[in-house]
Amino acid sequence: MLKIRYTEWDGSQRIKLTADQVFEKLSEYLSYTDDVQQALDWMMRQGFDWEGMQVLGLDDFLEQLREAMRQRYRDFNLNSALDEMRQRLDEIVDLERDTLEHGEVPPERAQVKRDFLDQLPHRLSEAIERMKSYDFEDSQAAGDFENLLEELEDISELEDFQRRHGDMFHGPKSLGYQDALDLMREMNQLKQLEEALSDGDFERVSLDELRDLLGPQAFQDFQTLKQVRMLLRDAGYLAGKEGRAQLSPKGVRRIGQLALRDIFQGLMRDRPGSHQVDHRGQADARPDATKLYHYGDPLNLDLVRTLKKALARKRGAPLALEPTDFEVFDTQYATTTSTVLLLDMSWSMSWEGRFAAAKKVALAMESLVRSRYPRDYFAIVGFFTRAIELKVKDLPEASWNMGDPFTNLQDGLRLASDLLRRHPSNNQQVIVITDGQPTAYFSRGRLYCEWPLSFGGISMRAAQETLKEVERVTKRGITINTFMLDDSPSLRAFVERMTRINKGRALYTRPDHLGEYLLVDYIGKKRKKV
């Protein structure tokens, strides 16, 4: 009998990540930047939680490294690190002096050599270096010095290390020469790892050193983090260009799906698009609903229910079907809509998370239309000092425009109208997401930008030219619905003038509720009778 034992998560279990899990976390970081590489770097640096399990980031490993260094500072001191080597040199010098004093060395030569030994530098490595040219009289001293000379490079490095960092080691345990060397090498390895992690350079990180210095758990955690980038690339979510990560077409689509899911999660139980209207457009079968067949209905037969009804009425063979046995799938009739979403990309949209919320909605709407209303036309226009059409592939990395900070709603409406003219339908609408009244406009082909008359005020000429464009759009039968992310009196007053002309609707909402209001409104309009 199979037995399964459940244990509480304690952080030591091996985390098995999937590309979808990792990409979902990356999409959250993309809400705050227009740069995929920057979002990826943030995620790799900060790590992330997944259903109670934590994937450690580079910053977590940096903190572990720094704590390992701090612990060594607290535990050890280097006050006696070179005592052993200095004692060896002193013994060599004493042997040589004894031979000079009592051996058969000519007095004048002995005096010259004593003077040389008296003038040895205090720094141990310099004294050893100086004695390399010394011609010993004592053979044992000469042999001992050759052995000591093999330590010169390590002694010199340890002296430099002690000079730079010795005061930082204030622990109770004094280290001897060999232990001090080991500590120096460990600290150097920790420092090199710290530099590599600070730079985000995974290739410079030695996994063996990481395991030796931080333990097997850190080794395992780092391997988990290291596979994150590989998972995203292998799954086709990321593409590379000159060493920088970019979203692939699959990644762009997935961003929209995640944005749509986040907005509708728990908001609507039934799937969007299940609605009836008075006029009959193209119909789709609903597999979740059936009804009794009536003459004239599309014969989308539910064979299972039909046979069950026939068997319930009369068992046995042959099976005799009657008209009352027929069960057909219900149908839904979708209105076709042409929609252009106008996305304010002016500088003020950088405040309070407005642009991140608006971009998320744009991605979600694109995903919604593509997956649920494929016969609808949907386009996105960004407007700042001028207006541009935003392609879906560019949307995840789109950002508010600091270089062109004005608000040219007039040009946005003009471009939206041109796009709708090329994709006509009986239901045409422009959805405007903005946080400010117009401050730029075109007149006779020339661009004009003007600041409001006062803080929170209005730019009169820009407003007038924009309202003229609203009138032109209205004459073409296009509805303008406006979602305001700011409730300033000047913006409200301007939008009210727009709605009086166009008869569209206006709604003020906070950025965190924008998606719910806008997408539910879009689907609600699809469900209305037309």
Query: Which two tokens mark 472?
Result: 């032109």
Q: Which of 53-67, 84-98, 277-291, 497-511 has the lowest mean pLDDT?
A: 277-291
Same domain, 452 and 415: yes
CB atoms within 10 A of CB 46: 15
Residue 17's pLDDT is what?
78
Predicted confidence (pLDDT) at residue 47 exceeds the cutoff of 90: no
Same domain, 474 and 413: yes
Same domain, 387 and 292: no
Domain contains 264 = no
Same domain, 70 and 117: no
What residues are paired with 43 via a beta bridge? none
Quote the domain boundaries for residue 193: 19-74+186-247
What band does 266 get if pLDDT is binned at 50, 70 and 90? very low
Tens-place pLDDT, residues 120-150: 999 999 999 999 999 999 999 999 999 999 9
48-71 mean pLDDT: 86
Domain contains 256 = no
Same domain, 195 and 318: no
d(CA 526, CA 369): 11
Same domain, 305 and 362: no
Q: What is the DSSP secondary-structure string of 18-42?
A: -HHHHHHHHHHHHTT-S-HHHHHHH
Tens-place pLDDT, residues 166-199: 999 999 999 999 999 999 999 999 999 899 888 8
CA distances from 406 to 273, 333, 414, 423 (A): 38, 42, 16, 29
**Contact indicator for 328, 291 with CB cutoff of 8 Å:** yes
Tens-place pLDDT, residues 229-249: 888 888 888 877 656 777 777
What residues are paired with 442 via a beta bridge? 447
Domain contains 397 = yes
Same domain, 415 and 499: yes
Residue 9's pLDDT is what?
43
What band does 521 get if pLDDT is binned at 50, 70 and 90? low
Same domain, 305 and 352: no
Check which CATH number belongs to the domain holding 357 and give it: 3.40.50.410
Q: Which of 29-38, 225-234, 378-387, 472-481 has the lowest mean pLDDT?
A: 29-38
Tens-place pLDDT, residues 471-496: 999 999 998 888 777 777 777 888 88
**Contact indicator for 452, 460 with CB cutoff of 8 Å:** no
Same domain, 322 and 218: no
Same domain, 238 and 103: no
d(CA 407, CA 131): 79
